[in-house]
Homo-oligomer: A and B are copies of this chain.
Amino acid sequence: MQLVKQESEKASWKKEEFESVLYSQKTRYHHLHPFHRRMNEGLLTPTEIRNWAANRFYYQKNIPLKDAAIMSNCPHREVRREWIERIIDHDGRSQEEGGIEAWLQLGQAVGLSRSELLDERHVLPSVRYAVDAYVNFCRNSSWIIAIAASLTELFGPDAIKVRLAALESHYSWIDPAGFEYFRVRLKKAPRDAKYALNLVLQHCKSRDRQEQAVQALEFKCDLLWSQLDAIDRGETRPCVEEK
**Cβ of A64 < 8 Å from any Cβ of B?**
yes
Are B81 and A84 closer than 8 Å at their CB atoms?
Answer: no
CA distance A84 to B92 in the complex (A): 11
**Cβ of A71 < 8 Å from any Cβ of B?**
yes
**Cβ of A75 < 8 Å from any Cβ of B?**
yes
Are B65 and A72 closer than 8 Å at their CB atoms?
Answer: yes
Please tell me which one of the listed residues B65, B92, B94 contacts residue A75 in the complex, with CB atoms under 8 A apart.
Answer: B65
Please tell me which one of the listed residues B66, B71, B93 contacts residue A64 in the complex, with CB atoms under 8 A apart.
Answer: B71
**Cβ of A87 < 8 Å from any Cβ of B?**
yes
**Cβ of A69 < 8 Å from any Cβ of B?**
yes
Using C-beta atoms within 8 Å of the partner chain, give the interface range for chain A. 20 to 34
A138 cross-chain contacts in B, Cβ below 8 A: 72
Given contacts A80-B91, A84-B84, A92-B81, contact A71 B73 (CB under 8 A): no
Copies in the complex: 2
Given contacts A72-B72, A72-B139, contact A77 B65 (CB under 8 A): no
CA distance A100 to B94 in the complex (A): 27
Are B87 and A71 closer than 8 Å at their CB atoms?
Answer: yes
Are A87 and B91 closer than 8 Å at their CB atoms?
Answer: no
**CB neighbors of B among A47-91 (8 A):** 61, 64-66, 68-69, 71-75, 77, 80-81, 84, 87-88, 91
A-B contacts, 13 of them at CB < 8 A, read A61-B75, A64-B77, A65-B72, A65-B73, A65-B74, A68-B68, A68-B72, A69-B72, A77-B91, A80-B87, A80-B91, A81-B93, A81-B94
- Known contacts A71-B87, A81-B92; 16 additional CB pairs below 8 A are A61-B75, A64-B71, A64-B77, A64-B80, A65-B72, A65-B74, A68-B69, A68-B72, A68-B74, A68-B80, A71-B71, A72-B72, A72-B138, A77-B91, A80-B87, A81-B94
